[in-house]
A and B are shown apart, each in its own frame.
Chain A
Amino acid sequence: MIAITIDNRNVLAEPQDTILQAASRNGIRIPTLCYHKRLSPIGSCRICMVEVTGMDKPVPACTTPVAEGMTVETRTERVMELRRTVIRMMLINHPMECHVCGASGSCALQDLAYEYGVAAHEFGEIPVNRRVKPYATPLIPYDPNKCVLCLRCVHACQEIKGIDALSIALRGSLAHIQGERSRCISCGECWQVCPVGALTQAVTDPPTRIHQMEAVTTTCGYCGVGCQMELRVMDGKVWGVTAPDDPEGPNNGSLCAKGRFGFDFIGHPDRLTVPLIREGGRFREASWEEALAYAARKLKEICASHGPDAVMGFSSARCTNEENYLFQKFLRAGVGTNNVDHCARL
């Protein structure tokens, strides 16, 4: 550990720490926007600027390494004004419609504008006519006016997924994110890391903002990776899927298109909702009591006339451990046969 001073406090830091990491380690908050703990430092937004004794200009805390004896100030009037200017510049062309924006309440720009008391950009009218091509995936609309060009999306696509479908196009006031449809895998990683409302979801029309919905952490029901995911729930319906920021999970906060967008089947009108019994070549609806009694009686008849080994059960790799355990217990102890298998061999 090395000793440094932050805001007149003597603190210890790891030698490989950045100023941001050292501050965070010691409970000192430096505001950030482009910084994301699952990404390497981007250094694009200039919100985390701090002053270091001996350096002429403020430096970004997220990319500047600590050094023995360094003295850092995080809230001088100079850096506070710098942050205000950065926020004002981000608000140029930003539609001031937070009340109808899906990110409101979880928007880093909104929080910073509030914290630094920036109500408007005060640069006057600056018309911009960006010609933006469709985003990398039809499932995620992109609004260049809300985009703060933090580049989290570009870095996530590159560093977390290794896909490289996103890049920045043009410069200055025309700059925007451009996507390559042929590379994109619609995993939604960019949407997940976007700190503002620039990236949204096209396929659902949720009654409220996704981030304000209850988040139920569960395990994805598709492939065997076992990704940890949060089902976003309101009014008894799943409206979206986010990934918990959990470095211990097998997916480390990442998902694929199936995990992210494969949830509409849950409340689909085609779902079976009542037991069915076939009668004369057609199904009719039945009560649970009747359907269970029917199945149990027929099973008993078959066992009585042909023995328990005339019964077989196909269990399911889609169901839980508890259900698979109970299924084989029913076949083995209830019916009396080892004729139980599932699709592992398929």
Chain B
Amino acid sequence: MTNSIADLEESDCFLITGSNTSECHPVIADMVRRACKRRGAKLIVVEPREIPLAREAHIFLQPRPGTDVAWLNGMMHVIWKERLWDEAFVKERTEGAEALFRTIDRYPPRRVEMITGIPQDQLIRAARMYGSAPRSAVLFAMGLTQHISGTDNVKSSANLAMLTGNVGRPGTGVNPLRGQNNVQGACDMGALPNVFSGYQRVSDINNRAKFEKAWGRLLSGKPGLTLTAAGEAIQCEKIKALYIMGENPLLTDADLTHVKKALARLDLAIVQDIFLTETARLAHVVFPAACFAEKEGTFTNTDRRVQRVRRAVPAPGQCLMDWEIIARLSTAFGYPMRYGSARNIFSELAALTPSYQGITYDRLEAGGLHWPCPDAKHPGTPILHQGQFVRGKGLFHAVEYRPPAELPDTDYPFTLTTGRYYEHYHTGTMTRRSKGLDLLCPQGYAEINPEDAGEMEVEEGDRVVLTSRRGRVEMHARPNPACPRGIIFAPFHFHEARINLLTNPARDPVADTPEFKVCAVRLEKAAD
């Protein structure tokens, strides 16, 4: 997030898109509701499905899945034409606006309605609401990124915020709500193929020299493979060994049939986890790990706040903390690692990571710190891009709408979109083993528009078969008016209905993120 969570309490207008906030980030949804009820802040929700927060929105736009660039360009078109944009901000703090204007000029509301299905008058109202509020914040999640145009969608949101001067001030910003407890931290720590910790590029010789000195080894400057490219690399025998720590790709990756085939081809699969997951079952060796309640360390949350994790209970059996396992494996491999504690590792990483340099365990005792926090006296940075952008001037990226990779047709007439339930988390390994959550929500459903269900003679609880070009899944159906016609929603939490057997592995060209949110499927009643 460019801004902090606490900061949201100061927004005058929220534009929430691609985020089922009340189910996936409930505590942030609470803040949005509070701001609307207590201070009269405005809420615009843009979602293909009528998510719970949509019912509380002042304006709810329902675009066709995968058409985000079009409506974002359309909103900017209206804001630009009606002179609701922040001319001074654009002039002083940004560059590339002329190219943006040429692009958004081609997205009048009439054309946007044809692409997205959003009525012109509603788009105009939303543009005026966002564009005229003193402090507007964009909130988004994977509904914006899990598309072949994911990067473009995010760039478009940033364009909208910059065009209206909604950057670098309290209550504004472009705010991705990150789905996992430490996905921000894993990125910050360099668990990415092209950067060391703190986003220091491996291709830069000076960065390599710095890490070579600290780590005592020569380092490769060739960026590695992405997770989503790994399957192909395994199939063509470029990758022979895979070390998987705390991930369950056999439920989470797109097109699971191919993922499973790839994992089976490996000469060595090491899986380190807290349960014998679907993925761990295919491993050659499994390391039992401690869970978050059994370890010391830090997580970095969605607003870049580094916070402590503390050991509350001992780990069962012979489980070790993940860092202990890595250190012992590395030592056995011939690269000795000796750390007495997580604190010692943190000191080492902070010294090598400029944005974490001022953070220490002692300082974290008093509460979390937002990075960048470059020195021991620095109070942390809840709001980014104040005064100037990190790169100097904010750069507009004019982007054009591109349709999703797979659209419905006569053979596969429905659009499938996937996501989470409030009660569950990812592949359900933790939440489905928690009595209370399982009691609240024991199973998943293929949710379908009631009129579509009527035509298919499908009733609540019927078994249905969903088929895509990649696989088939049988599950219970539930008519739900939150789904517009032609759209089926299904969660990915349930191993007995592995929805990612169906999803499309087509990827965003920059981020390599698969298009989980759009694929074409067929729905049939299951044979008895």
A320 touches B34 (CB 8 A): no
**Most chain B Cβ neighbours within 10 Å, of A203, A238, A246, A291:** A291
User: Chain B's nearest CB lies how many Å from the CB of A198?
Assistant: 19
B240 touches A311 (CB 8 A): yes
**Mask of A47-58 contacts with B, CB within 8 angstroms, 1/0:** 000000000000
* A309 interface hit (Cβ, 8 Å): yes
A222 to B239, CA, bound (A): 31
User: Chain B's nearest CB lies how many Å from the CB of A231?
Assistant: 4
A261 touches B227 (CB 8 A): no
Beta-carbon contacts under 8 Å, B397-427 to A: 422-425
* A255 interface hit (Cβ, 8 Å): yes
User: Chain A's nearest CB lies how many Å from the CB of B68?
Assistant: 18
**Mask of A128-142 contacts with B, CB within 8 angstroms, 1/0:** 000000000111000
Q: What residues of chain A lie closer than 8 Å to B268, measured between beta carbons? A: 295, 298-299, 302
Q: What residues of chain B lie closer than 8 Å to A291, measured between beta carbons? A: 285-287
A255 to B178, CA, bound (A): 17
Q: What residues of chain A lie closer than 8 Å to B228, measured between beta carbons? A: 345-346
A312 touches B233 (CB 8 A): yes
A258-B285 contact in complex given A221-B291, A223-B181, C-beta closer than 8 Å:
no
A258-B192 contact in complex given A227-B27, A312-B242, C-beta closer than 8 Å:
no
A185 touches B252 (CB 8 A): no
B326 touches A317 (CB 8 A): no
Beta-carbon contacts under 8 Å, B469-528 to A: 511-514, 516
Q: What residues of chain B lie closer than 8 Å to A331, measured between beta carbons? A: 243
* A18 interface hit (Cβ, 8 Å): no
B313 touches A236 (CB 8 A): yes
Q: What residues of chain B lie closer than 8 Å to A256, measured between beta carbons? A: 26-27, 422
A309 to B222, CA, bound (A): 10
Q: Which one, B75-83, B84-92, B294-302, is touching chain A?
A: B294-302
User: Chain B's nearest CB lies how many Å from the CB of A344?
Assistant: 5
B184 touches A278 (CB 8 A): no
User: Chain A's nearest CB lies how many Å from the CB of B510?
Assistant: 10
B252 touches A343 (CB 8 A): yes
Q: What residues of chain B lie closer than 8 Å to A187, measured between beta carbons? A: 26
Interface size on A, residues (CB 8 A): 113
A61 to B59, CA, bound (A): 41
User: Could you count the A-B residue pairs with CB atoms below 8 Å apart for me: how many are there?
Assistant: 475
A302-B240 contact in complex given A225-B5, A258-B423, A320-B323, C-beta closer than 8 Å:
yes
* B6 interface hit (Cβ, 8 Å): yes
A221 to B513, CA, bound (A): 23
User: Chain A's nearest CB lies how many Å from the CB of B272?
Assistant: 8
**Mask of B268-301 contacts with A, CB within 8 angstroms, 1/0:** 1010011110001001111111011111011111
A346 to B252, CA, bound (A): 8
Q: What residues of chain A lie closer than 8 Å to B309, measured between beta carbons? A: 218-219, 221, 320
B342 touches A320 (CB 8 A): yes
Q: What residues of chain B lie closer than 8 Å to A311, measured between beta carbons? A: 239-243
* B391 interface hit (Cβ, 8 Å): no
A310 touches B241 (CB 8 A): yes
A271 touches B319 (CB 8 A): yes
Partner of B224, one of A202, A288, A339: A339
- Nearest B-chain residue to A257, judged by Cβ: B423
B332 touches A266 (CB 8 A): no
Q: Which one, B157-165, B435-443, B444-452, B455-463, is touching chain A?
A: B435-443
A274 touches B318 (CB 8 A): yes
* B379 interface hit (Cβ, 8 Å): no
Partner of A226, one of B302, B319, B328, B346: B302
**Mask of A302-346 contacts with B, CB within 8 angstroms, 1/0:** 100010111111111111111111111111111111111111111
A343 touches B247 (CB 8 A): yes
B223 touches A338 (CB 8 A): yes
* B312 interface hit (Cβ, 8 Å): yes
**Mask of B240-259 contacts with A, CB within 8 angstroms, 1/0:** 11111111010011000000
- Nearest B-chain residue to A315, judged by Cβ: B191
**Mask of A156-175 contacts with B, CB within 8 angstroms, 1/0:** 00011110000000000000
A316 touches B303 (CB 8 A): no
- Nearest A-chain residue to B345, judged by Cβ: A322
A237-B313 contact in complex given A314-B247, A345-B226, C-beta closer than 8 Å:
yes
B349 touches A325 (CB 8 A): yes
A224 touches B333 (CB 8 A): no
Partner of B27, one of A255, A317, A322: A255
Q: Which one, B101-109, B123-131, B132-140, B213-221, is touching chain A?
A: B213-221
Q: Which one, B10-18, B114-122, B166-174, B193-201, is touching chain A?
A: B193-201
- Nearest A-chain residue to B281, judged by Cβ: A283
**Most chain A Cβ neighbours within 10 Å, of B238, B240, B349:** B240
Partner of B293, one of A238, A294, A333: A238
**Most chain B Cβ neighbours within 10 Å, of A274, A313, A331:** A313
A334-B177 contact in complex given A203-B439, A265-B431, C-beta closer than 8 Å:
no
Q: What residues of chain A lie closer than 8 Å to B24, measured between beta carbons? A: 223
Beta-carbon contacts under 8 Å, A216-275 to B: 216-228, 231, 233, 236-238, 246, 248-252, 254-258, 261-268, 270-275
A328 touches B196 (CB 8 A): yes
* A293 interface hit (Cβ, 8 Å): yes
A233 to B293, CA, bound (A): 10
B219 touches A332 (CB 8 A): yes
A319 touches B330 (CB 8 A): no
A319 touches B182 (CB 8 A): yes
A320 touches B284 (CB 8 A): no
Partner of A326, one of B6, B241, B334, B337: B337
- Nearest B-chain residue to A287, judged by Cβ: B318
User: Chain A's nearest CB lies how many Å from the CB of B171?
Assistant: 16
Q: What residues of chain B lie closer than 8 Å to A336, measured between beta carbons? A: 217-220
User: Chain A's nearest CB lies how many Å from the CB of B252?
Assistant: 6
* B33 interface hit (Cβ, 8 Å): yes
* B316 interface hit (Cβ, 8 Å): yes
A314-B239 contact in complex given A323-B322, A333-B215, C-beta closer than 8 Å:
no
A336 to B221, CA, bound (A): 10
B25 touches A330 (CB 8 A): no
Q: What residues of chain A lie closer than 8 Å to B218, measured between beta carbons? A: 336
A334 touches B335 (CB 8 A): yes
- Nearest A-chain residue to B423, judged by Cβ: A257
A54 to B181, CA, bound (A): 56
- Nearest B-chain residue to A294, judged by Cβ: B285
Question: 12 A-B residue contacts at CB 8 Å?
Answer: A224-B25, A251-B27, A268-B275, A272-B319, A295-B268, A299-B241, A317-B186, A319-B322, A328-B196, A329-B215, A332-B196, A340-B224
Instruction: State the 7 A-B residue pairs at the shortest beta-carbon distance, nearest first.
Output: A273-B317, A226-B301, A162-B33, A320-B297, A316-B246, A338-B224, A224-B178
- The residues of B with any CB-CB pair to A shorter than 8 Å are 4-6, 22, 24-30, 33-34, 36-37, 56, 146, 177-194, 196-197, 202, 211, 215-220, 222-228, 230, 233, 238-247, 249, 252-253, 267-268, 270, 273-276, 280, 283-289, 291-295, 297-303, 305-314, 316-323, 326-330, 332-335, 337, 339, 342, 345-346, 348-349, 367-368, 422-425, 429-431, 433-437, 439-440, 511-514, 516
Q: Beyond the given A219-B308, A321-B297, please list 13 additional residue pairs across the A-B interface where CB-CB is below 8 A.
A: A137-B440, A160-B34, A218-B308, A221-B299, A257-B26, A265-B433, A275-B318, A296-B334, A324-B190, A333-B219, A341-B224, A343-B249, A346-B252
